[in-house]
Structure formats: C-alpha cells, structure tokens
Amino acid sequence: MSTKRLTFKKRLHILKHRYRGKKMAPAFNAFHTFLFSPDETTHSGSHIRAADDLKRTMNTVIMALVPVLVFSFFNTGYQHYSAINGFPENFSVIDHFLTFDNFWLGFVQVMPLVVVSYGVGLLIEFIFAVIKGHEVEEGYLVTGMLVPLIVPVDTPLWMLAVAVVFGVIIGKEVFGGTGMNILNPALTIRAFLFFAYPTWMSGDKVWVHGAVERAGTADAISGETILGYLAQNNASEYSYSVSDMFFGFIPGSVGETSAFLILLGGLFLVFSKIASWRIMLSAVIGALVMGLIFNGVVEAGWIVEGSTFYSLMNFEFWQHLLVGGLAFGIVYMATDPVTGSQTNKGKWIYGFLIGFISVMIRVFNPAYPEGVFLAILLMNVFAPTIDHYVVRGNIKRRMNRLKQATVYPKTTDGKAKELKVETI
C-alpha cells in the first residue's frame, strides 16, 4: 500500500481536500492549520507578506506563559507540602522548592485544568466554525492557557468546563468570534466562576491543594492569600517576606504568584512587540498612585489603627504589585490587543485606570480581596469610549492647526471669515 508511506501531514492534506466545500471542512482545516502551516494563500484583494500572523502572535504569548506554568507546578506542590509539614526553616530553593515531589504533585493537579480548558474551549470553537461555516480562529490558544493559570488549583473540573462554555459562547462567539469580542474571554470565564461558585473561588481553603477536602478533619490545613489574610483579619503582619512575594513562593491562583517570572514574560512580550509597553507601564503607575494615596491617608492619620480598611491601606504601596493577580493581569490580560485601547494616548488612560481601580477594589471591598479581573473587565467596556474621544481630540486639534494656517479672505467689514469645521 502506497498510502502507508504517506506522512501524517500528507494524509491530513488529502483529507482536507476531500472535504473541501463540505459542512465539516472548517473542522479539518482547523486541525491542519493547528499542526502545520497552511498551504493556502489569499485569493483576492491586496495583501502583504508578513512573518507574524495571528498564530505566531498567539504562540509568542504562549511561550511567555510557559515559565509561569512550570513554576506553578512547583509552587502547587511546595504550598501543599509546606501546609502539611510546616514551612522549612532556612528555605533553600534547590532543596525545598525545585524538588520532584513538588513538581509531580503540581503537574498532576494543574495539567487536568489545562486539558479541560483547551479541550472544552476548542470543541466550542470547532462547533461554531462548522455551524457558521467559517475557518476556526486561533483565538482560543492564548485564552486556553490563561484560564488554568488564573483559577485556584482545586477548582473542580466540571466547574471549569461550564465556565469555559459560558465564557467562549457569551464572551466571544455571540459577538462574532475572535477579534470581535468586547470582553477578554479568559476574564469572563474567571468572573463567571467567581460569581457562580464563590465558595470555590475565595476564602482561606481553595488556594492550597488539599485544603478543601481536609476541611473539618484532624488534618485540616489552610492557606490564605496575603490579601485575603489582610482583609479578613485586619492584621498588619503576615508570614511572607518580600522576596517570597517577588519570586512567588506564596499561595494564590495557579499561575499568578511569581511576579519575577511574570516580569520576565512581560519583558519578552514587550521586546517581541506583541504586547503594549504603554499599557503595562501605565497600569503599574496607576497601581502605585492609588497605593501611595492609601499610604498617604494612613500617614496623615485620617484612619485609626484597627478600623476596617486600615491593614490594607497600610500595605506598602509597591507591594501591591507583588501579591495577588495584579502583575499577571497587567502583563497578560490588560494587554490583550482585541479588548484594550487601540490608540497610544488611549492606552495610557486605559492602563492607568486598570491599575488604579484594581488597587481601589482590593482595599475597599473586603468581599473581593482581588479586584484585578473586575478592573480589567470594566476598562474593556470603556476602551472603545476612550479611543473614541482620543480620535475626536486628534481631529479637533488638527482642525485647529489647519484653521490657524489658513489665510482667510477679508470680508467687507474687515473681519476674517470663520472657517466652519464639519464635525465628523
């Protein structure tokens, strides 16, 4: 049989041609495109040849996420064993963190989340592509990787599946698919999970693997996030050092803990020109400004020690960047080119308000110890409005410049005639 010698790629290619024009064609095409580079070229219109298509853009973001994912394996194991056996004294990264036990436990816990996220999400994309008869877009590649990184490690898989179905259909497909969505799909999924199943998304049990099932038994363990601890107990002391926070040896959602690796990922995205440095920088500034305002309120003595928001307001302003999902959200979510602002000036405003509002929600709403996803979703909604006014402002400024440069003919009474500006 000669077909035996055909490569997998060739067979897929034949299959694709056999199904051309049939109903299931988009599904085969998608599978082919996913694995290999497509052999078709654009047929009509003018087009340019560029090295980066949607798929390469997406893959670059995935590459920036891989270190975070691998770190999350280790951290899941580290948090679990430390909660059971006690945190090691004289902590050393090699001996206590980068162990195979840690890695394996995290791998077993986190990989199912990744598989479910991709499996369900891509299934929905395939179904919609077949129903609507268009080609599958690569939009879910990044979303599918982001989702497992922003949920607590013990999230039940069926909940994740339900949320992915909701997020992909309501957050993206109803608006017309990839590139047309108003809200970031990964954050829509996170928000759905938060409002639908709050007991699995907040509190002091969900952040460390095993804490939920051990609750109420003699072996009970707990692991609060730093923000959750401050919000709940109104304390000013917590057991993690600044370097723990920076390198990410703290409890939290799967991939959000390591500010260090997120910073590296962010730099990679900036230098590969995939993500906007303006949004990242302005979001950091926004968070620092809000944090400084809160610190200033405490300094000025306007809030007494022990009152409701004291401990969170007293939290060092720059440490807000190291805890919770703020760094992760700024680097990987706020910079989403579809849902963010498009204009350069708009990006500054958009980013600044994300940082500003995130820290505000953190401090003022004890029910939401983490405000990043809410802040980004809110600004996603406002991004088109910001862009609209930036564009209008540009038009107006240029019109004024034009008006000043134009010499008007004098009218009979000696006054210059006004040029009427058509509003666009």
Partner 1 sequence: MALLSKKDTNLILDPLADNNPITIQVLGICSALAITAELQASVVMAISVLFVLGVGNVVISLLRNIIPTKIRIIVQLIVVATLVIIVDQVLKAFAYELSKTLSVFVGLIITNCIIMGRFEAFALGNGPWKAFLDGIGNSLGYGVILIIVGFFRELLGSGTLFGIQVMGDPVTKTGLYSTGYENNGFMIIPPAALIVVGIIIWVQRSKNRALIEEN
Binding site for partner 1 (CB under 8 A): 156, 158-159, 162, 170, 174, 192, 195-200
Name residues whose C-beta falls within 8 Å of residue 256's C-beta, 6 or more positions apart in sequence.
149, 150, 262, 324, 325, 327, 328
Which one, 8 or 195, has the nearer CB to partner 1?
A: 195
Which one, 159 or 338, has the nearer CB to partner 1?
A: 159
Tokens 């405000």 map to which residue? Answer: 371
- For CA atoms 27, 32, 37, 39, the dihedral sign is negative
- Distance CA(259)–CA(251), nearest Å, equals 13
Which one, 156 or 337, has the nearer CB to partner 1?
A: 156
Tokens of residue 289, six digits: 């400004």
The phi and psi torsions of 325 (rounded to 5 degrees) equal -95, 10
Q: How far is the CB of 222 from partner 1 (least distance, A)?
A: 21
Count each helix (H run) and each strand (E run) in the chain, helices first. 17, 0
- Distance CA(267)–CA(261), nearest Å, equals 10
Q: How far is the CB of 198 from partner 1 (least distance, A)?
A: 6
Which one, 195 or 302, has the nearer CB to partner 1?
A: 195
Which one, 211 or 386, has the nearer CB to partner 1?
A: 211
Q: Classify burial at 8, counting beta carbons within 10 Å of its beta carbon; exposed 0-12, middle 13-18, buried 19 or more.
A: exposed
Q: How far is the CB of 132 from partner 1 (least distance, A)?
A: 11
- Distance CA(398)–CA(403), nearest Å, equals 8
Q: How far is the CB of 273 from partner 1 (least distance, A)?
A: 36
Which one, 84 or 174, has the nearer CB to partner 1?
A: 174
Which one, 177 or 265, has the nearer CB to partner 1?
A: 177
- Distance CA(63)–CA(264), nearest Å, equals 11
The neighbouring-strand residues paired with 416 are: 410
Which one, 150 or 330, has the nearer CB to partner 1?
A: 150
Tokens of residue 396, six digits: 């107006």
Measure Cα distances from 32 to 35, 144, 219 in Å: 5, 19, 50
Which one, 108 or 196, has the nearer CB to partner 1?
A: 196
Q: How far is the CB of 197 from partner 1 (least distance, A)?
A: 6
DSSP string of 373-409, one letter each residue? HHHHHHHHHHHHHHHHHHHHHHHHHHHHHHHHHSPPP
Q: How far is the CB of 368 from partner 1 (least distance, A)?
A: 14
Q: How far is the CB of 28 from partner 1 (least distance, A)?
A: 25
Nearest in space to 259 (alpha carbons), one of 224, 236, 287: 287
Q: How far is the CB of 194 from partner 1 (least distance, A)?
A: 9
Q: How far is the CB of 192 from partner 1 (least distance, A)?
A: 6
